[in-house]
Amino acid sequence: MTKQRPRIVASVTVDLVVLTVRDDQLQVLLIERGKEPFLGHRALPGGFLREGEDLRQAAIRELGEETGLDGSRLHLEQLHTYAAPDRDPRGRVVTIAYLAIAPDLPLPHAGTDARHAVWTAAGPYLEGPDDLLAFDHARILRDAVEQARTQLEYTTVATAFCEEQFTVSDLRHVYETVWGYRVDPRNFHRKVIGAAGFLVPTGERRLPDLGRPAALYRRGQARLLNPPMLRAEDKRGPGITPAGPA
Amino acid sequence: MTKQRPRIVASVTVDLVVLTVRDDQLQVLLIERGKEPFLGHRALPGGFLREGEDLRQAAIRELGEETGLDGSRLHLEQLHTYAAPDRDPRGRVVTIAYLAIAPDLPLPHAGTDARHAVWTAAGPYLEGPDDLLAFDHARILRDAVEQARTQLEYTTVATAFCEEQFTVSDLRHVYETVWGYRVDPRNFHRKVIGAAGFLVPTGERRLPDLGRPAALYRRGQARLLNPPMLRAEDKRGPGITPAGPA
DNA sequence: GGAATAGTGTCTGTGAGACAGTATAGG
DNA sequence: CCTATACTGTCTCACAGACACTATTCC
Q: Say what the pLDDT of residue B35 is.
A: 87
How many angstroms separate the CA atoms of B107 and A214, rounded? Answer: 63
Smallest CA–CA separation between B6 and chain A, in Å? 5
- For residues A168-191, one letter each, b for 16 or more C-beta atoms within 10 angstroms of the residue's C-beta and e for the rest, the string is bebbbbbbbbbbeeebeeeebeeb
> A171-184, pLDDT tens digit by residue?
999 999 999 999 99
Extract the residue ranges of chain B whose pLDDT is less than 70: 1-5, 109-115, 234-246
* Cβ atoms A100, A16 nearer than 8 A: yes
How many angstroms separate the CA atoms of A226 and B111, rounded? Answer: 49
| pLDDT-above-90 percentage for chain A | 82
Name every chain B residue with its beta carbon within 8 A of the beta carbon of A44: none
Kindly tell me if the per-residue pLDDT of A114 is higher than 70. no
Smallest CA–CA separation between B174 and chain A, in Å? 18
Q: Say what the pLDDT of residue A6 is.
A: 74
Q: Say what the pLDDT of residue A238 is.
A: 41
Fill in the DSSP letter of residue B232.
Answer: P
Determine the 3-state secondary structure of B106 from DSSP: coil
Task: Give me the mean pLDDT over the A95-105 stretch.
Answer: 96
Nearest CA among A151, A167, A170, A181 for reference residue A22 = A170
SS3 per residue for B79-93 = EEEECCCCCCCCCCE
The mean of the pLDDT values for chain A is 90
How many angstroms separate the CA atoms of A151 and A158, rounded? Answer: 8
Distance A212 CA to D3 C1' (A): 11
A189 φ, ψ to 5°?
-60, -50
- For residues B41-76, one letter each, b for 16 or more C-beta atoms within 10 angstroms of the residue's C-beta and e for the rest, the string is bbebbbbbbbeebbbbbbbbbbbebbbbbebeebbb
Q: Say what the pLDDT of residue B111 is.
A: 52
| Helical pair B168-179 and B137-154, crossing angle rounded to 10 deg | 140
pLDDT level of residue A2 (50, 70, 90 thresholds) = very low
A242 contacts B47? CB cut-off 8 A:
no
Determine the 3-state secondary structure of B110 from DSSP: coil
Nucleic acid strand D within 7 Å of A213 CB: yes
Interface test with A, best of B49, B57, B80 (most A CBs within 10 A): B49
A230 contacts B230? CB cut-off 8 A:
no
Nucleic acid strand D within 7 Å of B208 CB: no
Rg of chain A on CA atoms, in Å = 20
Smallest CA–CA separation between A23 and chain B, in Å? 27
